[in-house]
Amino acid sequence: MESLARPQATLVDLLDRVLDRGLVLNADIIISLAGVPLIGINLRAALAGMETMVRHGVMTEWDQSIRARETEASKVSQAAAGCNEQLPLATAVSHQ
């Protein structure tokens, strides 16, 4: 007799599904002392792969700016490699 139970999902399966579908967490936390609210925290977090985020319109501008910056850095790196120059580490890592 064969088992009808589904095979167990692994951590990799779970992570793959979260990155593919996305996960949104919303939490409202109120810290109070003796019935008096002292601190209110509103947390919103989204976890997904960049492809999923962009498809849903989340972080679209951020993704485009990262891609543009990396493309520019790649062009500079290739130009320097063509001249047999080495780039200092400070140029490869930009601070904004």
Range of the domain at 43: 8-57
Of 71, 69, 75, whose CA–CA distance to 95 is shortest? 69
Same-domain pairing of 64 and 80 = yes
Model pLDDT, residue 3 = 59
Q: Given the DSSP bridges, would you call strands 23-33 and 36-47 parallel, antiparallel or unpaired?
A: antiparallel
Measured between alpha carbons, how far apart are the two ends of the chain, in Å? 63
94 within domain boundaries:
yes
Task: Give the model confidence (pLDDT) of 64-83 as tens digits.
Answer: 788 888 888 888 887 777 76
Q: Is the pTM of this model over 0.75?
A: no
User: 31 with 51, same domain?
Assistant: yes
Do 91 and 74 lie in one domain? The reply is yes
Contact 87, 76 (CB under 8 A): yes
pLDDT tens for each residue of 10-41: 889 888 988 899 888 999 999 999 999 999 99
Q: Count of domains in the chain?
A: 2
**50 with 71, same domain?**
no
- Paired tokens of 59: 């972080």
